[in-house]
A and B are shown apart, each in its own frame.
Chain A
Amino acid sequence: NAGVTQTPKFQVLKTGQSMTLQCAQDMNHEYMSWYRQDPGMGLRLIHYSVGAGITDQGEVPNGYNVSRSTTEDFPLRLLSAAPSQTSVYFCASSQTQLAYEQYFGPGTRLTVT
């Protein structure tokens, strides 16, 4: 199993541009989520999904959209990038929402200038 994969690894955007961060898992996990990690801070939940077709907001959802059309994929879309969205983004998955162990991807480092 590849586990949780994320692309790209690095990205530089200009203010106002849009882009999609990709996340995929091959473990048939129901639950997937997106976090952002800023310097000196812990991870904060952006959006999550408990299954295909079901998504919900986390604690910092503004400026981001998600969809979950398949079990495997959970892309994160930045609608109009802002410098405040400069961060490292991690995707995670687990068997179910209540599963004890979550698996994290390697992260995408995004810089918005």
Chain B
Amino acid sequence: DAKTTQPNSMESNEEEPVHLPCNHSTISGTDYIHWYRQLPSQGPEYVIHGLTSNVNNRMASLAIAEDRKSSTLILHRATLRDAAVYYCILRDRGRGGGSNYKLTFGKGTLLTVNP
């Protein structure tokens, strides 16, 4: 499985933008970049995904480097509710099937939001 590298923790202030980085230097051409987050004592929650182009949705934006070896999840105005562990996940949609399509969660980045 292609690996991702994220900082263990980051801190932000409420109502400021947050940029969460993810390195994935061994990404393959069929790997999609997914972001999930896990609020305290809850199950993971889908945030956003992308392949090559930058993506926006109501929760966040995803900026993907031109060589696809890194990406950044952008929360435009952090709120206290955004305090969570954020997971950057590569998901290969090009091969095999079965458990190849599983989501492989690493340790993620713990985001703390200060009031």
Interface of A toward B, CB cutoff 8 Å: 4, 33, 35, 37, 40-45, 48, 56-59, 90, 92, 97-98, 100-107
- Which 5 pairs, one residue from A and one from B, show the smallest C-beta to C-beta distance? A104-B43, A42-B105, A43-B105, A101-B46, A45-B102
Bound complex: CA A26 to CA B112 (Å): 33
Q: Take A56-B99, A98-B93 as given contacts and tell me if A42 and B107 are in contact as well, using a CB distance cutoff of 8 Å.
A: yes
Bound complex: CA A97 to CA B115 (Å): 39
**Inter-chain contacts of A101 with B (CB < 8 A):** 46, 49
Are B49 and A100 in touch, CB under 8 angstroms?
yes
**Inter-chain contacts of B45 with A (CB < 8 A):** 104
CB < 8 Å neighbour of A92 from B32, B43, B93: B43
Are A102 and B105 in touch, CB under 8 angstroms?
no
Interface of B toward A, CB cutoff 8 Å: 32, 34, 41-46, 49, 87, 93, 97-99, 101-108
Find the residue from B44, B49, B93 having the highest chain A CB count within 10 A: B44
Bound complex: CA A58 to CA B44 (Å): 18
Are A106 and B99 in touch, CB under 8 angstroms?
no
Are A42 and B99 in touch, CB under 8 angstroms?
no
Are B43 and A42 in touch, CB under 8 angstroms?
no
Bound complex: CA A17 to CA B107 (Å): 31
Chain B residue at minimal CB-CB distance from A104: B43
Q: Take A42-B87, A42-B108, A97-B97 as given contacts and tell me if A102 and B49 are in contact as well, using a CB distance cutoff of 8 Å.
A: no
